[in-house]
Chains A and B, each alone.
Chain A
């Protein structure tokens, strides 16, 4: 399944989608950035409520296929712009983290 297909299936709002055809391989949930870098695997969906600019570097370095900001968290335009430049997909979900994860699980 690709990130684009996930968006269609789950109705997440894509605010940055430079790599829509990236394949998804599993999911990791976490807000502590070093935990994410230590435990997330390449091509995971990363669900978080952390929306500061450092998530772009973490997503790039950990090679996740997309970030999903859950719980209705929004993201600054400046970060969206940087995500586009760095090839990082960012999706927004109004659902709670658990429900977002369940939706991803059912989709993939």
Chain B
């Protein structure tokens, strides 16, 4: 594969129970492309965490997964409230999720740390009141 392949998804902010559809679809697509299972697992979990974040905090958003010869890039963009203190948000256990979300097993303050854990690179670009864009990269052929 010499050219990159992009998968685009709209993440529905209303429907919490259907969150994960984009991630599961990404998993299927990557499997079809013959990507290694451990990479697929890393990418799809990081993507799911991002999806959940967009549903909890931002009323949805958009996700792009770009598969190139040597890497996979994931770009998650929303027009939510933004992250006031990114360093704090990156700390394991820190969360601003409401109790209704916690009772479903989310909101443990592990979403962003998990994304970082599974990706080789991750940058967060966020402006309060404007939105958040997260770019993540995992390298293939390591």
Contact = CB atoms under 8 A, between A and B. Distances in A.
Given A34-B110, A38-B113, A38-B117, A50 B105 contact: yes
B41 A42 contact: yes
Contact of A37 (B19, B38, B45): B45
B25 to A, nearest CB: 11
A34 B106 contact: yes
A63 B31 CA distance: 13
Interface stretch (A12-20, A54-62, A67-75, A98-106): A54-62
Query: Main SS of chain B's interface residues?
Result: helix
Interface residues of A, number: 21
B132 interface: no
Contacts, number: 69
Given A57-B23, A60-B24, A61-B27, A34 B41 contact: no
Nearest to A82: B17
A61 to B, nearest CB: 5
B49 A37 contact: yes
B37 interface: yes
B130 interface: no
Contacts of A52: 17, 104-105
Interface of A: 31-35, 37-38, 42, 50, 52-58, 60-63, 86
